[in-house]
Structure 1
Amino acid sequence: MGRVTTAETAAGTEASPELREEYAELVDEVARHQVAYHQKDRPLITDAEYDQLVHRLRKIEAEHPELASADSPTQQVGGAPSEAFAPVDHLRRMYSLEDLFSPSELRTWYDRAVASLEKQRPGEQPRWLLELKIDGLAISLLYRHGELVRAATRGDGTTGEDVTHNVRTIGDIPHRLSGTNHPEELEVRGEIFMPSEAFEAFNQTLIDAGKTPLANPRNAAAGSIRQKDPAKTAQRPLSMFVHGLGARSGLEPTSQHDAYETLAAWGLPVSPYTAIVDTFDEIQDYLDSYEQKRHDLLHDIDGVVIKVDDFAQQRSLGHTSRVPRWAAAYKYAPEEVTTRLLDIREHVGRTGRVTPYAVLKKVKVAGSEVQRATLHNQEVVKAKGVLIGDDVMIRKAGDVIPEVLGPVLPSREGREDELQEYIFPETCPACETQLAPGKAGDVDYRCPNAESCPAQLSERVAHIGSRGALDIESLGYEAALALTNPGLRRPAAEELIDREATQASGTPVTLGSEGLSAQIPVLRTEANLFDLSPADVKDVYVWREVRQAGEPTGKWAPSLYFWTKPQWDRDGSVKKPSEPTANTLQLFEELYKAKAQPLWRVLVALSIRHVGPTASRALSSAYGSMEKIRAADEQELAGIDGVGPVIAASIREWFRVDWHCRLVEQWAAAGVRMEDEVDEDTPRTLEGVTVVVTGSLKGYSRDESKEAIITRGGRAAGSVSKKTDFVVAGANAGTKLAKAEQFGLPVLDEEQFNDLLNNGPEKWKRADD
């Protein structure tokens, strides 16, 4: 995505169309990475790259608050809870932490906290509790009278996932607290992790069994807690350390450190690495010490958490809408290691963008092995000066995909003949169509063969199944690839073996120079997705590497993807016929249910450029049907709050393409919902009214309050301005409430919000006048 660097406009000036386009793309991009990290436990970029995206997003919103929406990832803590587990509300909100990346940022934060405390509590100097930032999964444990009654993930901070049954399998976590005088109710916050040594041992058992090893300890912990079968969680070597308290009744320790001593006495696991210090220099010494020995600890870390220890002082400092002012996370600089750049290849994305990426000699960095790194575009490759065959420095901040910093120039000596300059392809690596810039001046090249390019089709089909679109279980990237391009990973003929013949003879038997004949993909266009049946995918096979004693052999064999392999008797008769796998049956059940998804999700699934959840909700609310959206002119679309000229132009351009129109028509013919049901019982009481909801409401989740406003014709805004009509303030309302009071806006509680929804704004406007 091209970043706008010339639009660093001062607050108060109108955002340019280019900046609006950048902002819309950023919102969708950051939201996608939040889902990948928090809900799917499959991060797509490094922590450092993600932090840069969020930093840019916050900068734009600070300079242009009119662009900020309720959908913005900056308005959320963590990620929305997964629908695979029952939602559960925390008794007290779980906050995120402000991230600090340099000693100067740490000093600024420290001085601000000390100055603020001095202003509110003159003469008091804070003591600081320091603890390692565990790279795991945040958890909240609820004890009543000493009994563990519930465990929940952080989710969006207000609502998490109920994972009680899985957490009960972790030996470190007591089902009943030891000792006496337990509180009537106690929320204990902590981090579940997989110890480093246990992770290595567990991965080795997977390799020995011929299974794919887990990516890193953080993903291992998160994935283990989200197992649907607690017995599988019980097989994982998980641990937990406590790092805080939530709601409590009957327990009032004076400090965080005192609380830890009490919790430890009750049998809860407390980190052995905490420290109490008094000065900034002591904080810095602690940071330096653990940065040097970060790989010699019980668990992976990505930094240090710094907290004011005294609870009364914490309360005085308070919170913003997202983070506490009394705590922050100092992130260590990303690690750097050297490895060999084996190749540079290209990835073709959903919109046709062709992105080079580095193929690396496998190397372990920050606790996990990596083999790929993004290179963004051909200009970045040139700027870094890397050659294929170079030894390169890579940097990694705790996730799976590292960043290539540049070549190790001294290692080139005597190896010049082995090195090769990277030449960006002139044609698409997936379909051989001539590449071209998306628009004049773009450094990113795109494949214009959107309809037939198999790589773009695979990405679009996977996007249809994603949580942000139609949310189709079992339609991930691997399934999309099997449907659209099953031969993509077809190895060379000499690497192919006939598995059955090999098993019978005991030695590898090749499939012949031709191997199996090339497959015709089941899907040549996503238009046919909802017309498929299990019978249509019966013969789809993919290529999998054969392993012996858990080790790869370099030989590949075909394997049915959607159906089971038939079993034969010795006389040649069928003992057990091939049948759809459980995942395949689930896929088709989910495809059927997806037809009834609301219109806004269908719009997202169509992969219209710039049209993400925010714009889709605005469009579906304004028009209610695909037919009306399709008929609207560009000016009319641009006038919709949440759409604007860039998105409006993209929509009109999309519907001018014949195959796009056929796609919509075929989905409609297959029964996909193209019109939202009008609830005649819901009055349009908020036409033209802008409402901002801040804090936690008892009767509404964040999405439910937004839907309640939108379905009544109102605008659910994410930021407060002078044009805001009403602000609804729930528990823990933050800076938005302060801003509403500053502007003299009407502020409603939840009961008054219900009255506004049911009866409209007249009563409150008269009261305000």
Structure 2
Amino acid sequence: MKFNENEVKIKIDKLISNIKKWNIEYYDNDAPSVSDFIYDQALLELEMLEKAFPNLVREDSPTAILGSSVDNRFKKVAHKKPMLSLNKAYSFDDVIKYINNIQKIIKNVEFILFAEPKIDGLSISIIYEKGILVKALTRGNGIIGEDVTHNVLMIDSIPKKIQYENDLEVRGEIYIPKDKFEQLNKMALANNQKLFANARNAASGSLRQLEANISKERGLEAIIYQVVEPLSHNIFDTKTEREFLKNQGFKTQEFFEKITSQEQLKNVIDSFKNIKNNFNYDCDGLVIKYYDFRWYETLGYTAKFPHHSIAFKYEIEKAITKLIDIVASVGRTGRITYNAILEPVELNQTIVSAATLHNYNYIVDNKINIGEDVYVIKAGEIIPRVVAPVFPKEKSYFKIIKQCPNCGNKLQKIDDNVDQFCLNSECSTKKIRAIIHYCSREALNINELGEKQIEKFFNLNILNEIKDIYFLYQKRDFLNSLGKKVEKSTNNLIENIEKSKKCNLFQVIFGLGIKHIGLQSSKVIAKKINKLQDLFGFSYNELINLDDLGEKSAIEIINFVADEKNKKLMVFLDKTLSYNKNESNEKFKNLIFVITGTLSKNRDEYKKIIENSSGKISSSISKNTNYLLCGDNAGSKLEKAIKLGIKVINENEFEELLNN
């Protein structure tokens, strides 16, 4: 089909407008309204049109500049050297073109490449002066980044001090480990809160917080892979760079390959696809780079990419199925989530019959319609996601839901949030979710009160709010009448509720479900008060001066306490519960523990003991690790600890360490 230039110009303008909008959503707001699939298709179409009509290429085209802007909430700092992204290869033919381009420029030079996993995280640049970490910047627009030093200082795997005393800049990737990401989303799912679309968004959103306590809570980690201006530090190739970084205490890639032939490279790409999901981070491909840094300036750069490296990306596994219906649900905070009901289909060895659609904007921007075939993916996500229609229509015909699907209250948007909210405090689903959160493992840990049981009791009108939990013992006869042979479970329930009355104060603070107050913030607050009612007297200024507590958290606490109903609940809980004294100490202050192997106790019990003793838990061994608590069937962590000379202890030795 032929286009005249006017039609092409209109198409290019539309593509640029969309891509710019999506860049802001993805890079700046960490709330993409379209899938990577849709985004990549649009960018590829724009590149093809610009190649066919070079006279229509705009100076502000996203193909010529990096995607994100700089968040005005953070101090803007210029990068000493531009922080470029990598050009992408989607086939081995694309990789061969990259190799041929290198060999055209540097002829008769030994062909050596280096390949390592491409982490799907957030790029970071870290600056040291005289061995001290002084600044950390996001990529930003590649020229100017955002100063996120306050959050990077919370990441255990990034050394705050190194032995190398010359000024140094290193770059790497910040990510959330898979197990931590799964834990975050499981907690959100249990409370019907907004899920992170993927671990990359979670890492980006966590690092770009004004409040450091949020970054700390979410367990960010970092892998460092680059020394900026390596030749000035007598680093001439990828091998010496890697050794230098490890010696300074940085966490580096465990997998890497030195490649000397195209055949070897093909084998590495093919075989890596089978192991890329074994890492504790999301990996969507390989970074392939020329081995010898002395040729990098000769190879040159574009405005967006260096010529010395390329990112090979594997295609995400997806399934095609029919979208039967779109339904909405309401969470503990009142946020509305749109979900897809699907014809069952197999994906990643599981049967998928439902998937998230995030919010109404996502449905509209992706042109998703009921009754059509759609692509579904499950890449590093706790629940599947609809990414695009197979045969896109001109638009989505799905009408926005205007009333809460539960209580019928009119939905509203808060500030510039893309999400809709039910603000009805009496909405039954919100009340149920609040009770579920209060009883969850991280809060009061009342095992016998699970989601289904709470819903059942709510519908029976015997459990309408948190306070009612502590009067269920008065309903013993009624509970026993609900079925045959239920006396034992009733006794267990009442016994566990009674046991839960003796608890740590931070568990109760967390259980209240105050917006922006996670587990770590709850512990910070608990150290400063003896009972919940002590919060009544705290001013805004006193709250923001607490360690790791920021403006948003302080405002939410003030708002929560100002509600008369919440005040009454806090007074009741202070009277009903018995808070443990000296719930935390500094026995393990400044000590970092890693846990591995099969232990006699639940691993979470050990984590709780360590954290209550002011110690820190890391998911990986590094030079900064103090102890490896090791059980049976330990794997690579034990080997690495021995190599690094890390103290390895068993459970008995841990008890001795705790008690002495």
TM superposition score normalised by structure 1: 0.49
Matches within 5 A, 1:36-55: 36-55=25-44
Q: Which residue does the alignment assign to 2:355?
A: 371
Out of 148, 161, 178, the residue aligned to residue 196 of structure 1 is 178
Q: Which residue does the alignment assign to 1:253?
A: 235
Letter in 1 for 2:114: L
* In structure 1, distance between residues paired with 2:567 and 2:244: 65
The question of 1:176 aligning with 2:161 is answered yes
1:213 CA displacement? 5.0
Letter in 2 for 1:174: P
- 1:72 counterpart SS class: coil
Q: Deviations over 1:213-272 (max 9, x none)?
A: 544321221122112221222222222111223246841311122111112111111111
1:208 CA displacement? 6.8
* In structure 1, distance between residues paired with 2:213 and 2:225: 27
With over 3 angstroms needed to count, the CA separation of the structure-2 counterparts of 1:568 and 1:80, relative to structure 1, is closer
The question of 1:476 aligning with 2:417 is answered yes
* In structure 1, distance between residues paired with 2:272 and 2:240: 23
Q: Which residue does the alignment assign to 2:86?
A: 97
Out of 6, 31, 37, the residue aligned to residue 16 of structure 1 is 6
Matches within 5 A, 1:206-217: 214-217=196-199
1:125 CA displacement? 2.7
Letter in 1 for 2:17: D
Letter in 2 for 1:305: V
* In structure 2, distance between residues paired with 1:286 and 1:210: 41
Aligned residues: 437
Q: Which residue does the alignment assign to 1:566?
A: 564
Out of 94, 103, 110, the residue aligned to residue 114 of structure 1 is 103
1:570 CA displacement? 7.9
Matches within 5 A, 1:164-313: 164-178=149-163, 180=164, 182-183=165-166, 185-204=167-186, 214-247=196-229, 250-313=232-295
Q: Which residue does the alignment assign to 2:45?
A: 56
Letter in 1 for 2:117: L
1:133 CA displacement? 0.4
The question of 1:343 aligning with 2:324 is answered yes
Q: Which residue does the alignment assign to 1:513?
A: none
Which region of structure 1 is more displaced relative to structure 2, 103-112 or 61-70? 61-70
* In structure 2, distance between residues paired with 1:322 and 1:153: 16
Letter in 1 for 2:118: K
Q: Deviations over 1:14-34 (max 9, x none)?
A: 6224x3332222112111221
Letter in 2 for 1:27: I
Matches within 5 A, 1:718-733: none
Question: 1:132·1:305 contact (CA, 8 Å) conserved in 2?
Answer: yes
With over 3 angstroms needed to count, the CA separation of the structure-2 counterparts of 1:363 and 1:164, relative to structure 1, is farther
Matches within 5 A, 1:435-474: 443-444=394-395, 474=415
Q: Which residue does the alignment assign to 1:437?
A: none
1:296 CA displacement? 1.2
Matches within 5 A, 1:250-649: 250-336=232-318, 343-345=324-326, 358-360=340-342, 371-372=355-356, 384=373, 394-395=376-377, 401-403=385-387, 443-444=394-395, 474-478=415-419, 500=464, 503-504=467-468, 506=472, 565-567=563-565
1:284 CA displacement? 1.5
* In structure 2, distance between residues paired with 1:176 and 1:364: 45
Letter in 2 for 1:132: P
Letter in 1 for 2:139: R
- 1:323 counterpart SS class: coil
1:377 CA displacement? 5.5
* In structure 1, distance between residues paired with 2:75 and 2:205: 16
With over 3 angstroms needed to count, the CA separation of the structure-2 counterparts of 1:253 and 1:497, relative to structure 1, is farther
1:201 CA displacement? 3.8
Q: Which residue does the alignment assign to 1:132?
A: 117
Letter in 2 for 1:567: K
1:300 CA displacement? 1.1
- 2:273 counterpart SS class: helix
The question of 1:143 aligning with 2:142 is answered no
Q: Which residue does the alignment assign to 2:645?
A: none
Question: 1:366·1:397 contact (CA, 8 Å) conserved in 2?
Answer: no
For structure 1, the 5+ residue unaligned runs are: 1-5, 348-355, 387-392, 407-423, 425-441, 456-460, 466-473, 508-543, 545-549, 551-561, 574-769
Letter in 2 for 1:316: T
The question of 1:27 aligning with 2:16 is answered yes
- 1:29 counterpart SS class: helix
Question: 2:369·2:396 contact (CA, 8 Å) conserved in 1?
Answer: no
Question: 2:132·2:160 contact (CA, 8 Å) conserved in 1?
Answer: yes
* In structure 1, distance between residues paired with 2:49 and 2:147: 35
The question of 1:160 aligning with 2:141 is answered no
Question: 1:139·1:191 contact (CA, 8 Å) conserved in 2?
Answer: yes
With over 3 angstroms needed to count, the CA separation of the structure-2 counterparts of 1:45 and 1:363, relative to structure 1, is farther
1:140 CA displacement? 0.2
With over 3 angstroms needed to count, the CA separation of the structure-2 counterparts of 1:443 and 1:313, relative to structure 1, is same
Letter in 1 for 2:137: A
* In structure 1, distance between residues paired with 2:465 and 2:369: 49
Question: 1:100·1:328 contact (CA, 8 Å) conserved in 2?
Answer: yes
* In structure 2, distance between residues paired with 1:15 and 1:110: 35
* In structure 2, distance between residues paired with 1:228 and 1:319: 34
Q: Deviations over 1:550-570 (max 9, x none)?
A: 9xxxxxxxxxxx997432888
Q: Deviations over 1:127-179 (max 9, x none)?
A: 1010100011100001122221100111111111101111011111111113x
With over 3 angstroms needed to count, the CA separation of the structure-2 counterparts of 1:109 and 1:44, relative to structure 1, is same
Question: 1:363·1:371 contact (CA, 8 Å) conserved in 2?
Answer: no
Out of 83, 90, 97, the residue aligned to residue 72 of structure 2 is 83
With over 3 angstroms needed to count, the CA separation of the structure-2 counterparts of 1:324 and 1:366, relative to structure 1, is farther
- 1:477 counterpart SS class: coil
Question: 1:139·1:151 contact (CA, 8 Å) conserved in 2?
Answer: yes
1:76 CA displacement? 2.1
* In structure 1, distance between residues paired with 2:12 and 2:69: 21
TM superposition score normalised by structure 2: 0.56
1:212 CA displacement? 5.2
Letter in 2 for 1:94: M
With over 3 angstroms needed to count, the CA separation of the structure-2 counterparts of 1:173 and 1:497, relative to structure 1, is farther
* In structure 2, distance between residues paired with 1:212 and 1:222: 16
Identity %: 24
Q: Deviations over 1:291-335 (max 9, x none)?
A: 111221121101111100111222211111111111111110111
